[in-house]
Amino acid sequence: MPELSYREAVRDALATAMRRDDEVFVMGEDIAEMGGSMGVTQGMLDEFGPERVRNTPISEMALVGAGIGAAMQGMRPVVEVMYEDFLTLACEQIVNQAAKHRYMSGGQVKVPLTVRTQGGAGWSPGAQHAQQLEAWFVHVPGLKVVFASTPADVRGLLYTSIYDDNPVVFFEHRTLYGIKEEVPDELEPIELGKARVHREGEDVTVVATGRLVHEALRAAEEAEGEGVSVEVVDPRTLQPLDEETLVASVKKTNRCVVAHEAVTRMGFGAEVAAVLQHQAFDWLDAPIERVGARFTPLPFAPVMEEWVVPHAADVLEAIRRTVGRNGH
């Protein structure tokens, strides 16, 4: 099995879809000669040419709108929005147009649009280039929302998203681009709406997304040394959500921590906690713990940024609280 980085896995999914289907193309700011701000599309211009690897003006509303039009005409565009903070500039197109047309046309019009974007803290990008806004888009009927945390998952889920007939907002985390993992020789599509259990455990379930999946796995290793068995589950697809896998895990462990990098208030973890409280209340032996960023714009100073966003230590402390081993 070859080893791919997260960045290479994204590129492989895009290139594989484009080789197999002439209707697939990519567009975005500086994605051609420059290869994108994170180097994901590096080299693709040479293989596919400027008609299918298209640089766009600096207007997120325009490029997403063009993608919607192309999708409605039968193509399968993948639009890259350089930073997920800039999704705010395209919200009218994503929320009021892409998400609505299939429903409003009674299914006659499909919108097979994939909007790729990346964000996240960890390199002092400041308050306008590192927000985690995935919960905003989960709230919009008509959109599918994906947040992959590993190379194998990002490759399989992105390929599936491209071939979904509904608009998909596809989140990536910039600090994950360099991580590597063995992947199958042949790209294997991954069904949307299926969670991944990264680690089996008996005492507490940690439901984590994005970078926090890796922080949760580190916390689980430390907890094991303290005699606590931790199960780590990554929903992977935030909408549709694999409630069945999450509920089954909590019914087994009887405790739960939800963790993400986005701010805790109104974060995706709140929805997970609500689902689990409703469907697994009788199995819970402790309140559900939530781990997320502090409710503040992200500071530029590295030491302050480190303080604002959650890490493995925060997940471990939440694990200790829910199993009653925090010393209080």
Q: Which of 8, 29, 60, 84 is catalytic?
A: 60
- Residue 152: phi and psi, rounded to 5, are -65, -40
Q: Count the alpha carbons within 13 Å of 280 in the hemisphere toward its beta carbon.
A: 26
Q: Of these residues, 101, 129, 173, 214, which one is catalytic?
A: 129
Determine the Cα–Cα distance for residues 102 and 275; give it in Å rounded to an integer: 27
State the Cα–Cα distance between residues 121 and 312, nearest whole angstrom: 15
Amino acid sitting at position 295: F
Distance of CA 100 to the CA centre of its chain: 22
Is-catalytic flag, 80? no
Inter-helix orientation angle 268-279/243-253, to 10° = 60
Which neighbouring-strand residues pair with 205? 231, 256
CA distance 235 to 237: 5
**Contacts for 182 with CB less than 8 Å, ≥ 6 apart:** 1, 2, 3, 152
131 within 8 A of 298, measured Cβ to Cβ: yes
User: Residue with structure tokens 């993400």?
Assistant: 260
**C-alpha pair distances (Å), 262 with each of 89, 121, 149, 233:** 19, 10, 15, 17
Active site residue 317: no
Q: Could you tell me the strand order of the sheet in which 76-81 lies?
A: 53-55, 24-28, 76-81, 114-119, 168-173, 144-147, 237-239
Tokens 């530029």 belong to residue: 300
φ/ψ (deg, to 5) at 322: -75, -25
Which positions are catalytic?
60, 129
